[in-house]
Amino acid sequence: MDQIFSKLTFRTNGEGFIDITHDLNLFIKKNNFHSGIFNLTSLHTSCSLTINENADPNVLRDLKKYMQSIVPYDSYFTLSKNREEISYKHYQEGSDDMPAHIKTSLTNTALSLSFQDGKILLGTWRAIYLWEHRIDQKERIVNVHIIGEKKQNKYNEIK
Amino acid sequence: MDQIFSKLTFRTNGEGFIDITHDLNLFIKKNNFHSGIFNLTSLHTSCSLTINENADPNVLRDLKKYMQSIVPYDSYFTLSKNREEISYKHYQEGSDDMPAHIKTSLTNTALSLSFQDGKILLGTWRAIYLWEHRIDQKERIVNVHIIGEKKQNKYNEIK
Amino acid sequence: MDQIFSKLTFRTNGEGFIDITHDLNLFIKKNNFHSGIFNLTSLHTSCSLTINENADPNVLRDLKKYMQSIVPYDSYFTLSKNREEISYKHYQEGSDDMPAHIKTSLTNTALSLSFQDGKILLGTWRAIYLWEHRIDQKERIVNVHIIGEKKQNKYNEIK
């Protein structure tokens, strides 16, 4: 069992999704790993790592719209009887910053995935996305870490 | 340190929860693992893997009701000042499909659990559930992957 | 590759966040691990493990307020057209108990983190928090589990 650490950098383009699946599978291949655990850690508190459908682009569009709708900029209304309006106390870094922290909390900044035969096990029509929650372009770093086997046929396959 | 990969298939019965804890612990036992990391990956974008209480069935009932209430079928209202109604652009696969993708994003499709003495470390009154978000019956595949020790007493226990 | 299991106990003080980053890094150091995977499992269904900003305390304040606002005590209103009021069926353990289960489901009870040079890879201004969702003081147990290397220079660093 070997391990390897590195960092991948992505340039985001405002709120939305960047498909990072290919870069991750390339990292496995380049480092000659066959099978193991692939740990991803976003080093930020205003973007997420998420897995979702990569077939119809409207899925990502609806997903972004939903998150913007339940975590609005500036203020939001509670779901309690009095329907109170709440403003963010942390607003100094922009009206999209505190909502971005909340969106991050409702999703994930770390993913622990399994890979086999040099490829992350995902299923059909699924991709791994870096989900940017800030309006501005950002440079985002994802820490990549593998623990696994470098040589083939050293693990047991159950049919 | 050894590893093993396999797939478990579950038949869901509409929106709701299937307790998969026993099947997962059985997989550990059958493959003679003692302790390690157990990585679960649902290969779908409209069901989740979640851990919650297994004592009072009303907990699961309330949980499902809550998720249905904040991610309604067909359309939803935003929490912003203007309380806008938003319809899903991705509606072609049924009125429950896009809500299922959103519910999946708000929870998890991958879990990395620890197990010791042949059993997943969970705590009292806790179970691992496959959470189906679609209305129809579905066949769901969970990829199971263990990295761990097969023989006893090879790890260090801290008292 | 070695592994180690233990439990850390934390005393919470009502709804809010306890920074557990230092305790986790100390556990790595004390057990002489250098690099690997650090799996955390909260053994409870009414508190979470989350990573967020540790710079401005208002971030945590806003985060807690948001979660209380979308998962209110006693009852909540749906986001659907009819804006129905829903009461929890599971209310016997207190008006904060079922909301706590829901808040737990919307976040995480297990985290799989990477560490290198004896320290969890987090990024700047980030901390790992135990997020208590109950009003009362509670004793919370986090299962800690490492798979990794004890000696230095046994893994490959990519520049």
- Please write the tens of the pLDDT for every residue from B95-118: 999 999 999 999 999 999 999 999
Q: Do A45 and C37 touch (CB under 8 A)?
A: no
pLDDT tens digits for range C104-138: 999 999 999 999 999 999 999 999 999 999 999 99
Banded pLDDT at C153 (limits 50, 70, 90) = low
Question: Average pLDDT for consecutive 10-residue bins of chain A (159 residues)?
Answer: 97 97 98 97 97 96 98 97 97 97 98 97 96 98 98 55
Q: Which chains touch B (3 or more CB pairs under 8 A)?
A: A, C
Q: pTM for the complete prediction? A: 0.95
Alpha helices in C31-121 (DSSP H): 57-70, 97-105
Q: What is the ipTM of this complex?
A: 0.94
Q: What is the pLDDT of residue B159?
A: 47
Taking the CA of residue A27 and the nearest CA in chain C, the distance in Å comes to 11
Give chain C positions within 8 Å (CB) of B70.
Answer: 70, 78-79
- Under DSSP, is residue B86 helix (H, G, I), strand (E, B) or coil? strand
Other CB atoms within a 10 A radius of the CB of residue A137 amount to 10
Q: Which chains touch C (3 or more CB pairs under 8 A)?
A: A, B
Nearest chain C residue (CA) to A75: C66
Per-residue DSSP letter, B27: H
DSSP code per residue over C116-151: ETTEE---TTEEEEEEE-SSS--EEEEEEEEEEESS
Q: From first to last of the 159 residues of chain B, give the pLDDT tens digit.
A: 999 999 999 999 999 999 999 999 999 999 999 999 999 999 999 999 999 999 999 999 999 999 999 999 999 999 999 999 999 999 999 999 999 999 999 999 999 999 999 999 999 999 999 999 999 999 999 999 999 999 665 455 554
What's the CA gap between B62 and B74, in Å, rounded? 21
> Shortest CA distance to A120 belongs to which of A48, A54, A47, A23?
A23
Per-residue DSSP letter, C66: H
Interface of C with B (CB under 8 A): 1-6, 31, 37, 39, 41-45, 70-71, 76, 78-81, 83-84, 86, 88-90, 92, 98, 101-102, 104-106, 108-110, 112, 141, 143, 145, 147
Residue A4 token pair: 């390897």
Using an 8 Å Cβ cutoff, are A24 and A144 in contact?
Answer: yes
